[in-house]
Structure 1
Amino acid sequence: MTAGRLLAVTLTVAALAVLPAPPPAHADDRAVVATTPADGAALAAPPATLVLRTGGWPDPDLSHVTVQSDAGTTVDAGDMRVDSPRSLLLPIRLSGPGTFTAVYHVELRDGREGSGVVRFSVGTGIAPPTPSVPAGATGGHEHGIDGLSAVLLTVDLLVLAGALLMLVLRPRPGTPPADRPRWRLDDTS
């Protein structure tokens, strides 16, 4: 194999290695498939927990949810935890009747993620109004690549390209020294 072909194959393999893999096919591609209480529920008694049922294995370290009253008071009563292989549970403590809003961002271990808003009422006898933030909105909350990570990734790729180039251009084993190219900084010829 010539050096040019080896370089082309190496660069193709390196490019394919950094491309993201397509997400796996699932019966339900949504990260969150149901909530308890459900969006729009009018409950007579306050729930002790908010449960997010997921379409895969949730990652509790990368997922978060908060529940607030219409007055803006956070009613979370503990840390979110995995309740079963496909659900997250957040303990909540509601002090009285009212309308409550849960905002969540869930990441699954297969890379899928989802965010949304769930509104429910307790003790009012009427369903809560439609959320002012559409389901799926992030509310200014993103998990993108930060600038430092992007710079470090670029440096890593440049170092990899340099190492591959050095491997391709190195003298072949068994090549006599007279046939090897001589590169010198002070060579004027």
Structure 2
Amino acid sequence: MASEAADRLPAVVHAAATGRWRVRFAVAAAAVVGLLAGAAGSAWADDNRVYADPPAGAVLSKAPTGVTLAFAHDVQPELSHVAVFDRDGSEIGDGTYSQPASDRVHLPVTIDQDGDYTVAYHVTFPDGTSTTDAYRFSVGTGVPPVALDAATRQASTDAVARHAHQIDGLSATLLVLDGLVLCAVLGLLWLRPRDGRPMSFRPRDSGPTPDGGDPDRP
């Protein structure tokens, strides 16, 4: 029995080594995929808005000519979007929003009716994180705006998030390159030496054939 156990020992060691290699492979693959996902997508950060004009809940007697938002970090304008909606859900932005400073955005608006107005924004920062939110202000009513219900808030933020997440040609190219890098890394991991021997695509020598011949000879 001791002889049989000794004979099985190499197979047990090989199985354990193979199992450890598979675990390392899975961990490395998961790490690479996580990095790729982090680069391709944007994580949702906490709201970094530090200033708004008009501010949330403002009661205005005169209609503003624009909405300005400032954030705690610089803003990537090509990946961000701001919109202002009237009570019917129609956008009232008067042109494309601008970036008067690296950490703020401005959207000109034309408001010719009294009522509540909703500001929605989705802003992306240089580190890939982003923030999205919505708030209201009122014009000419003399009372605070009606609080945003969940459905209206969701619809408003969804509208700006869809607009901001349109993939441009450069982003698509970077995604393809990231995928190629992932494939290369996984390929190198797959071809790395196992059990101290380099990988080979040749079938493993299984020992002499039953008749005592060489298995590598025809």
TM-score normalised according to structure 1 size: 0.66
Partner of residue 134, structure 2: 117
Tell me the residue number matched to 1:163.
188
Mapped to 1, the partners of 2:133 and 2:123 lie a distance apart of: 9
- Structure 2: runs of 5 or more not aligned: 1-16, 39-44, 166-171, 205-213
Matched, 1:59 2:76: yes
Structure 1 residue 101 corresponds to structure 2 residue 118: yes
- Conserved 8 A contact 1:56-1:108: yes
> Given the superposition, is the C-alpha separation of residues 45 and 182 from structure 1 closer, same or farther in structure 2, using an over 3 Å criterion?
closer
Kindly state the Cα deviation for residue 55 of structure 1 after the two structures are TM-superposed.
Answer: 1.3
Q: Please tell me the root mean square deviation across aligned C-alpha atoms, in Å.
A: 4.1
Q: TM-score, normalised by structure 2?
A: 0.58
Distance across 1 between alignment mates of 2:112 and 2:76: 30
- Structure 1 runs not aligned, ≥5 long: 22-27, 173-180
- 1:71 maps to 88
- Name the CA distance, whole Å, in 1 between partners of 2:201 and 2:29: 30
**Which residue does 2:202 correspond to in 1?**
183
Larger Rg: 2
Worse-superposed segment, 29-38 or 151-160: 151-160
- Report the AA paired with residue 89 of structure 2: G
Alignment of 1:2-41 (within 5 A): 19-20=34-35, 30-41=47-58
Any idea what SS the aligned residue of 2:79 has? Answer: coil
Q: Which amino acid aligns with 1:101?
A: T
Give the total of aligned pairs.
164
Q: C-alpha separation between the residues in 2 aligned to 1:163 and 1:135?
A: 50
Between Structure 1 and Structure 2, which shows a larger proportion of helix residues?
2
Q: Could you say which residue in structure 2 is the equivalent of 1:47?
A: 64
For residues 130 and 153 of structure 2, what CA distance do their matches in structure 1 show?
A: 10
Letter in 2 for 1:60: P
Distance 2:201 2:102 in 1: 63
1:87 and 2:112 are equivalent in the alignment: no
The offset of 1:38, in angstroms, is 0.7
In the alignment, structure 1 residue 131 sits paired with structure 2 residue 157: no
Which range moved further: 113-122 or 30-39?
30-39
